Amino acid sequence: MLKRTLMALTGVVLIWAGLTGPSNAATADIAALDITAINYNSYGADSVTNNTEYVEVKNTTADPVNVANLLVQDAWARGRDKTTGCNTFRLAPGALPVETGATADQLPAGAVLRLHMGKGTAGIDRSGVRHVYRSMPDVCGYHSNVFNNGPSGSNRWAAWDTAWITLGTGSKSKGYNFSFGYVAK
């Protein structure tokens, strides 16, 4: 009898746990993220050693968001369904810099993440911005600079591009004209 009661209680607990589901902090949600800036042009000549391009993403909610496997692409990569290689950046699980004691992969409420397309060391700056880096190979874009190369095909010389972020099955994009300076907001 005791064995059956314990089995029934275990079943109730498992059903309850399944109904309540994970907290918002454990659920990846593209709706919570916005592209707030795109640094599409390094100061000086485009080269592998001078690549300061980045896409800035902000958590616009009051809850942490799991950003593991967040994918960044430009129009060229998106148009070719490229999720790895040139003109892409996938945030690996555990790569997001977090404060001591914070949960891995969780971008805090209101926090900003900069995904750099050049070399650097991941960290959190004094203003709380999280920085992660992926060094693009020289063959990607123009000497590894990918966010100011325009679309391809008949419009390949157009002065515009689009940055995409994808998390799970949801995506957001921001188009910009890169003939007006260095950073699109």
Q: What is the pLDDT along the chain (185 residues), one digit of tens a residue?
A: 444 444 444 443 444 444 333 444 434 589 999 999 998 877 777 776 777 889 999 999 999 999 999 999 988 888 888 888 888 999 999 999 999 999 999 999 999 999 998 888 999 999 999 999 998 887 887 777 787 665 555 555 566 788 999 999 999 999 888 777 778 88
Q: How many Å apart are CA 26 and CA 102, to the nearest integer?
A: 13
What residues contact 33, with CB distance under 8 A and at least 6 apart?
Answer: 57, 58, 59, 60, 65, 67, 70, 107, 165, 167, 172
Residue 106 has what pLDDT?
Answer: 96
Residue 25 has what pLDDT?
Answer: 40
Q: Is 157 helix (H, G, I), strand (E, B) or coil?
A: coil
Residue 90 has what pLDDT?
Answer: 95
Residue 140 has what pLDDT?
Answer: 81
| Domain residue limits, the chain | 28-184
Fold held by 28-184: Immunoglobulin-like (2.60.40)
Predicted TM-score (pTM) above 0.85: no
Q: How many Å apart are CA 58 and CA 147, to the nearest integer?
A: 19
Q: Sign of the C-alpha dihedral, residues 9, 14, 15, 20?
A: positive
Whether 97 contacts 123, CB under 8 Å: yes
Residue 15 has what pLDDT?
Answer: 41
Residue 16 has what pLDDT?
Answer: 40
Q: Is residue 61 left, alpha or beta, with left meaning phi > 0 and alpha meaning psi from -120 to 50?
A: beta
